[in-house]
Copies of this chain bind each other. A is one copy, B any other.
C-alpha cells in the first residue's frame, strides 16, 4: 500500500527560498512530502516520469512553483488528474504578473488551483494541500481547524500588543 504524500515541484532551485514556506506549513501539519526541481521546458521527460511515478507512489496533491511564463503547474495538470496547486513566483521584471496569468488562465478541463504570487501564495499552497487531504481525513481536518484558531489568536495577540503600546 502507498503512503499519501504531497509532491512539491519547482522549475528552478532559485525558487526554494520562497517555497520553503510551503515546506514549513506541510511539516507543521506532519504531511509527508517530496521536493523536486524539474522544468516543464528543460526537462519535460523527467517531469513526466516524476509525476507518473509520484502518482503511483501515492501522491495525492501536486504543488508547482514557477516564474515568468510559468507552465510547470499547467504541464503537471496535463499529466495527472490529482489536484495541482500553482504558485506564481515573482521572479523577473514583471514581478510575477506574467507567472500569475500563465498559471491561472487554464483552459476548460485542466484546472490549476492557483494561489497568490510569491511568499503569501507559497504559504497558502501548504494550507490548501492540507485542506485537500482533509477531505479524506477527519484528523487532518481537525489539525487545519486548530491551526486556523491559532492564527486568529496570533492576530488578536498583535492587536493586544498594539493596544498596550498605544496605552489603552
Which residues of A are in contact with B by a Cβ distance under 8 Å? Answer: 11-13, 16, 21, 34-44, 46, 48, 60-61, 67-69, 71, 74-75, 77-79, 81-83, 85, 90, 92-98, 100-120, 123-125, 127-128, 131-137, 141, 144-145, 148, 151-152, 154-156, 158-159, 161-163, 166, 168
Contact = CB atoms under 8 A, between A and B. Distances in A.
Q: What is the copy number of this chain in the assembly?
A: 8
A75 to B, nearest CB: 7
Contact of A83 (B94, B135, B163): B135
Contacts of A74: 40-41, 69, 71
B115 A71 contact: no
A34 B162 CA distance: 11
12 contacts: A12-B107, A12-B155, A21-B108, A35-B163, A37-B162, A39-B107, A43-B152, A67-B107, A81-B134, A105-B117, A106-B120, A135-B135
Contacts of A110: 41-42, 124, 127
Contacts of A162: 13, 16, 35, 37
A30 B35 CA distance: 35
B75 A44 contact: yes
Given A71-B71, A100-B104, A102-B98, A41 B77 contact: yes
